[in-house]
Amino acid sequence: TPLSSMRKTIASVTVRSKTEAPHFYITTSVNMTKTLDKRKEFNDQSDVHVSVNDLIIFSTVNALKRFPKFNSSFQNDNLMVYSQINIGIAIALEAGLIVPALIDCQDKSLKEISSSAKDLGNRAKGNGGSLSQEENTSGTFSISNLGMFDVENFTAIIVPPQAAILATGKVIPAPVVDESKIVISQEMKATLSVDHRVADGAEAALFLGEIKSFLENPDNLFS
């Protein structure tokens, strides 16, 4: 069966990424219990309904402001750090996967990110317009969320020439130890894939920890 043009592009990009960028991966578990409670309260009172993915994007943007190295690319033995934070969102279409970007996220509020993400998704699926050249080519960091497909944990391939990508799974109830007591919390696995030419494990752990800190503290998100 001949490959479609989109499948050929995906094959080329993923081979380039895995060939050129030495990937390493780190995973953490995020306690989403308080944040999901606050999200429900927020959505009940707001005209903009925020998704879990919107919270992940917003938390990542804030973490990138503190760790700009991960908003960069390795080019010709130099590190190009971008002033714009353009978050690529992996979107599954019938023909294949695309990763268009939300442009200039560094200045957006949670509500603005939520509205922009919904608009981007609709246009990516052919509803309400087409994607711009900038949206298709200017991502500086990407997020892939398979939680809606009942996936708990996975690793993603970096979108070249970016330095990293965050993969998140489904939020599930799980037993955790809290002050010597076992309680049920809403847990989400998050895995960061990193280009080892750009950053090392300890730096990546601090960056992923910052994303986790934002996601676990709803006051950071809904202020």
User: Which residues carry out catalysis?
Assistant: 196, 200
Cis amide linkage into residue 175, ω under 30° from 0: no
Residue 162 neighbours by CB under 8 Å, 6+ apart:
73, 88, 139, 140, 141, 142, 195
Q: What is the CA radius of gyration of the chain?
A: 17
Alpha-carbon distance of 23 to 83, in angstroms, equals: 24
The H-or-E segment that residue 114 falls in is helix 110-124
Q: List the structure tokens of 90.
A: 């992996």
Alpha-carbon distance of 49 to 110, in angstroms, equals: 10
**Cα 57 to chain center, whole Å?**
6
Alpha-carbon distance of 67 to 16, in angstroms, equals: 25
The label of the residue with tokens 């965050």 reads 166
DSSP at 180: T
